[in-house]
Structure 1
Amino acid sequence: MNKLLSLLILSCLAVQAADKPNIVLIMVDDLGGRDLAVYGNKFNESPNIDKLATQGMVFDQAYAAPVCSATRASIQSGQTPARVGIFDFIPGHWRPYEKVTVPHHKIQHLPENIFTLGDAMKSAGYKTGYFGKWHLNDRTAKGKEARHTPDERGYDKSYMYNGGGFYRPVFQPAYKLDKPKRLSQVLTDMGVDFIKENKDQPFFLFVSHYDVHVQLDADKDLIDKYLNKKRDPNYPGNAVYAAMIEHTDDSVGQLMKAIDDQGLADNTLFIFYSDNGGVDNRYDDIPLLGGRSVNVYPEGHPLRYVATSNAPLRSGKGTVYEGGIRVPLIVRWPGKVSPGTRSEAVFSSSDFYPSFLEVTKTQAPKNQVLDGVSMVPALTKNSFDPEREVFTHYPVYHHDEPMSALRKGDWKIIENLVSKEFYLYNIKYDVNEMVDHKVSLPAKFAEMKAALVKWQKETKAQMPVPNPKFDPSKRYQWGKNPYK
């Protein structure tokens, strides 16, 4: 009888564990939509991410915001950046003499009324951990203003990267290293320790890398490896950037191994993602190399200024074009996701929140709009809405002028918020976004324009306004955001 009772208890515990799978989310900073071998890259090497792809599902149409803070706010809120009010990086870009004055964040942190993804996971009975780049608070603030850190927004254990570069990382709270280590390795160690500490209970681990953000800096042996590698004639082949990708790939491999070593793989949803498109060049046209790697390329060498190319996607980070917002997304979930598969489902950063609610069987927070949709049907049944609407609102100057966009089905409309011009592209046949169809297809143009304008009003998306200080001779000068 006792043996039967023990078997029943073990069976109940197994069912309970399956109802609450562990979740690991690894996010890389500024990794482009065409930087990995699984997306066709022939220069950069990422064997662990390749392995993850063979074990899970690769999304070919995953989207983020054009910049980091906006995507991070979207993930934590389940809302579009326009609705949550964080649409640029914190504190934000500023050009004081441009034709328009761009809107500013009303607060320089994730709004206090947001029940975060961390809060939601804690309410579902999960241990929560956040390690790395947060960028949802003002790091220059002092006293009471120096708040809104991960530990206050739903994460049981957290270390927020607080500057110092890739080889002298500083964290909040303070984190003592036993010996000097690269930032990517420190974050990986934190993640591995968190997995081991919480192996006997459901956990949500968010590892947020600062790689492959500029200024580019990496281990010399890896840089030398790529300097000596034959370059793909259709790709820049920046050796420092490629080395940084390999650093993040090593992290993925170590975290996958930690999950496997603890016997948790079959009950862990493991996700790899990027926060925006790749950086082809800096918006302010200064060299991209820094730290120990500042002299890898000599003066005048083009790869001092070019990190990557998102081709055939147009443009890069800081724009609403495909190169700025289409990113890698790979998901492994044994027994749920068929290994070695690809999905055409359109995914948005706001989808993580409702997806995790469904995975953990948790109720959505009251009085908080969720703009995202659950990715679970796409993952488990390849079921998704091919006509889904995904909006991008980036009303500031960065690599281009302020713009707003809607992707729906095969079509994408872009509004230039300065000139008030619209452009209509067919993404399926013209991923370069070069052929404007608004004149040849007036009915489709009217439909897409109406949908974009309706959404802007519904979300109260902030817009630029005419600048009384407009000075054509100074318009391209960058200034410090006065609302910082």
Structure 2
Amino acid sequence: MKPSIVFLIAFLSVLPLRGQSEERPPNIVIIMADDLGWNGLGCYGSELAQTPCLDQLAAEGMRFTDAYALSQCLPTRAAIFSGQYGARTGLTSVETSSPGYAPMISPGRPKALEPEVYTLFEMLRDAGYKTGMSGKLHLGGPLNTNSALKNKNRGMEYLHDYGLQWAGTATPNRNDKNVSAITDDIIEFIEENRDGPFIAYAAHRSPHMPLEVPPSSVQRAVDRGFKRSSNPRGLFSERVTADYVAMIEYLDSSIGRITDKLDELGIAENTLLLFLSDNGGLTRVWKNDPLRGGKGQLYEGGVRVPFIVRWPTKVKAGSTCTAPVHVVDLFPTFMDLAGAQPRKDQILDGVSLVPLLKQTGSFARDAIFSHHPEYVVGYAKTPCSMVRKGNYKLIHYFGDYLDPTGCVPGGAGALYGRFILGSRTELYDLKQDPGETQNLANDMPQVAEELMADLESWWSSTGARMPMPNPNMDRSKWKWNKND
């Protein structure tokens, strides 16, 4: 046989071996809770809710202590899909307008995440992933996958625009906020696409209000000494109730069903599973202590969220990451893992978390930002922005401020706080004061000026829509509580 033929045969015989040795991109499972506070899990210090499945997930993976979302549902979900801050997409709040007599006029926002935005799921689809989700969509159009599928004019086409190839109905609701149905859907999708790679997104509506959970789960919490709630919307005077604790615990059990399925299919080793919440806990029904504030606000209780990643072959079990991260980081992270590239005209505001997950290389994060130019009356938030850089965090209120010190919301949707007219800047050292009790703006003016300059530069680079003074402000109508 000629030497050239022998060489060719030898070369061809090696090719399959090389191909087999190439690292497969991981499957990705995202499980999102709705309004779960940073301290809502046992692995984050909760002594109220019992969360063995999520505690086990943290023991087998990495727990992030300083992970950030936006302060409400829609902005966080849009940021995950787009990889961009709400200041860039315009999706900064659920609310679309301000009270006509308020001190500031909010700039408004787009109705929904624009279809031309190249989403996380489109990127992964183009990289060869199967993409599917079930549950709360909330990008400004249909609230959930079921309502999107029922749309007579577009149906699945609407979901395709965002890169989703498969969607579950998230039904029926078994008196459990659709938790079991969403979990059923995600398990079905995983089974159908077990050969991978796939991304499965379980977007839950729990423990968001109203309270809804099987009576047997509530009874278990009652047996431990918690009282039943008298109002399905929750009352501040009753927090924390058996019903709310039961919602967290019931959600926790659903995570166990998904991890068990991954184990059963033999694909857990190469599956990255992420659990997080879309914003902080609602203070009417949950105590975010030691963090200040809650859902709808830019204090830590409103924007810092539980964030756990398990990836057995790559992430060290039982590890903890204290670096500040943000939900906009998910797009570049998954793009990195999929070996994909951004579009030429695409701007991503996040940073890949792969160096943190693998504990190799450097993590280039300068600062984290958030922009909320709208009023969220029910959550005591006036138009404001924030920046965190290192241990320091600055919050800037544009024209008025609500000081909730000493005030509490009396019931569902109640207003609270002491109204203060005029702009305001607050500075906190989160390392020394995670509860944001000491405003250092006057004590450390140079730090405050530096962070304010960073914030102003960021507004400019993102094209942030800004609130403006309202010439029609009517102070007599602008009442936050009976003492105003």
TM-score bracket for this pair, using the shorter chain length: 0.7 to 0.9
Please say if residues 75 and 91 of structure 2, whose CA atoms lie closer than 8 Å, have aligned partners that are also in contact: yes
Corresponding residue SS for 2:133 = strand
Is 1:390 matched up with 2:368? yes
Offset at 1:397?
1.6
Residue 180 of structure 2 corresponds to which residue in structure 1? 185
Please say if residues 44 and 237 of structure 1, whose CA atoms lie closer than 8 Å, have aligned partners that are also in contact: no
Residue 158 of structure 1 corresponds to which residue in structure 2? 167
1:201-216, aligned counterparts within 5 Å? Answer: 201-216=196-211
Amino acid at match of 1:309: K
Paired residue for 2:91, among 73, 86, 89?
A: 86
Is 1:109 matched up with 2:112? yes
CA distance in 1, matches of 2:425, 2:177: 45
CA distance in 2, matches of 1:411, 1:144: 49
Residue by residue over 1:235-279, the C-alpha shift from the partner in whole angstroms, topping out at 9 and shown as x without a partner, is 943211111111211121111111111000111111101110000
Residue by residue over 1:157-194, the C-alpha shift from the partner in whole angstroms, topping out at 9 and shown as x without a partner, is 01366xxxxx864xxxxxxxxx8875100000000011
Structure 1 stretches lacking a partner, 5+ long: 162-166, 170-178, 282-306, 478-484
Please say if residues 177 and 212 of structure 2, whose CA atoms lie closer than 8 Å, have aligned partners that are also in contact: no
Distance change in 2, residues 1:310/1:68 (3 Å):
same
Amino acid at match of 2:428: Y
Corresponding residue SS for 2:370 = strand
Amino acid at match of 1:246: E
Corresponding residue SS for 1:345 = coil
Distance change in 2, residues 1:221/1:136 (3 Å):
same
Residue by residue over 1:340-382, the C-alpha shift from the partner in whole angstroms, topping out at 9 and shown as x without a partner, is 1110111101000000011111111221100000000001016
Is 1:410 matched up with 2:391? yes
Is 1:401 matched up with 2:379? no
Offset at 1:467?
2.2
Please say if residues 53 and 252 of structure 2, whose CA atoms lie closer than 8 Å, have aligned partners that are also in contact: yes
Distance change in 2, residues 1:260/1:476 (3 Å):
farther
Offset at 1:457?
1.5
Residue 313 of structure 1 corresponds to which residue in structure 2? 291
Amino acid at match of 1:95: P
CA distance in 2, matches of 1:8, 1:268: 28
CA distance in 2, matches of 1:190, 1:312: 36
1:228-243, aligned counterparts within 5 Å? Answer: 228-230=223-225, 236-243=239-246
Distance change in 2, residues 1:113/1:387 (3 Å):
closer
Distance change in 2, residues 1:9/1:243 (3 Å):
farther
Residue by residue over 1:17-56, the C-alpha shift from the partner in whole angstroms, topping out at 9 and shown as x without a partner, is x331101011111110011111100010111101101100
Offset at 1:139?
3.4
Corresponding residue SS for 1:42 = coil
Residue 474 of structure 1 corresponds to which residue in structure 2? 477
Is 1:365 matched up with 2:343? yes
Is 1:199 matched up with 2:165? no
CA distance in 1, matches of 2:239, 2:12: 61
Is 1:22 matched up with 2:27? yes
Offset at 1:437?
1.4
CA distance in 1, matches of 2:325, 2:157: 27
Residue 43 of structure 1 corresponds to which residue in structure 2? 48
Identity of aligned residues (%): 35
Offset at 1:97?
2.1
CA distance in 2, matches of 1:382, 1:310: 33
CA distance in 1, matches of 2:140, 2:189: 24
Offset at 1:137?
3.1
CA distance in 2, matches of 1:52, 1:265: 12
Could you tell which deviates more after superposition, 180-189 or 68-77? 180-189
CA distance in 2, matches of 1:114, 1:428: 37
Paired residue for 1:329, among 284, 288, 307?
A: 307
Please say if residues 133 and 210 of structure 1, whose CA atoms lie closer than 8 Å, have aligned partners that are also in contact: yes
Is 1:420 matched up with 2:438? no
Structure having the higher Rg: 2
Residue 255 of structure 1 corresponds to which residue in structure 2? 258
CA distance in 2, matches of 1:386, 1:180: 45
Structure 2 stretches lacking a partner, 5+ long: 1-9, 228-237, 400-421
Please say if residues 101 and 478 of structure 2, whose CA atoms lie closer than 8 Å, have aligned partners that are also in contact: yes
CA RMSD, aligned part only?
2.7
CA distance in 1, matches of 2:364, 2:197: 33
Residue 164 of structure 1 corresponds to which residue in structure 2? none
Amino acid at match of 2:315: V
Residue 38 of structure 2 corresponds to which residue in structure 1? 33
Q: Relative contact order: is structure 1 or structure 2 higher (C-alpha 8 Å, sep ≥ 6)? A: 1
Paired residue for 1:274, among 271, 274, 277?
A: 277
Residue by residue over 1:101-145, the C-alpha shift from the partner in whole angstroms, topping out at 9 and shown as x without a partner, is 21211x311112211111001011011101110011333998769
TM-score, normalised on structure 1? 0.83
Please say if residues 346 and 386 of structure 1, whose CA atoms lie closer than 8 Å, have aligned partners that are also in contact: no
CA distance in 2, matches of 1:346, 1:10: 42
Residue by residue over 1:401-420, the C-alpha shift from the partner in whole angstroms, topping out at 9 and shown as x without a partner, is 11100000010011001132
Corresponding residue SS for 2:322 = strand
Residue 404 of structure 2 corresponds to which residue in structure 1? none
Amino acid at match of 1:444: V
Please say if residues 275 and 307 of structure 2, whose CA atoms lie closer than 8 Å, have aligned partners that are also in contact: yes
Please say if residues 28 and 272 of structure 2, whose CA atoms lie closer than 8 Å, have aligned partners that are also in contact: yes
Residue 413 of structure 2 corresponds to which residue in structure 1? none
Offset at 1:460?
1.5
CA distance in 2, matches of 1:95, 1:117: 34
Residue 286 of structure 1 corresponds to which residue in structure 2? none
Residue 300 of structure 1 corresponds to which residue in structure 2? none
Paired residue for 1:62, among 63, 67, 91?
A: 67
Distance change in 2, residues 1:185/1:5 (3 Å):
farther
CA distance in 2, matches of 1:10, 1:43: 54
Paired residue for 2:76, among 71, 77, 80?
A: 71
Is 1:130 matched up with 2:130? no
Residue 436 of structure 1 corresponds to which residue in structure 2? 439
Amino acid at match of 1:330: I
Corresponding residue SS for 1:61 = strand
Corresponding residue SS for 2:67 = strand
Please say if residues 149 and 160 of structure 1, whose CA atoms lie closer than 8 Å, have aligned partners that are also in contact: no
CA distance in 1, matches of 2:365, 2:292: 22
CA distance in 1, matches of 2:15, 2:182: 37
TM-score, normalised on structure 2? 0.83
CA distance in 1, matches of 2:100, 2:204: 32
